[in-house]
Amino acid sequence: MSSEFVTKRLPLAVFLHASSALRYLRIEPSEQDRKMRFLFRDDEKQGAQLEIQFERGATVSAKDLFASQTFLRRQISEAENRRINGERSHVNLVSTRF
């Protein structure tokens, strides 16, 4: 059974993606607010611990950080455009980092 780690925090999502700690699955609009939710595969339930490491200053290379930020910002733009146009509610694009 696969499990997912979900966050609405872009900086955390960028870190998780850049570090390759969890596999990025998709982005989808939150039902409670206008924010986006980033979903990562987390079969080993490491998401909460990785979030703590992020809060404590865990690092990744600048190159990976900026590449992941660019990728996820594009995902946000595409998901927002789909929401505006009333299309499918989530974007299932696989990152080229994996």
Mean pLDDT of 8-23: 97
Mean pLDDT of 35-40: 95
* Percent of residues, the chain, with pLDDT higher than 90: 70
Q: CA–CA separation, 54 vs 50, rounded Å?
A: 6
Mean pLDDT of 6-24: 97
Whether pLDDT at 88 is above 60: no
pTM (two decimals): 0.82
Mean pLDDT of 14-35: 93
Where are the strands (E) in the chain, listed by range?
Answer: 4-7, 23-29, 36-41
Strand bridging mode 23-29 / 36-41: antiparallel
43 — phi, psi (to 5°)?
Answer: -60, -30
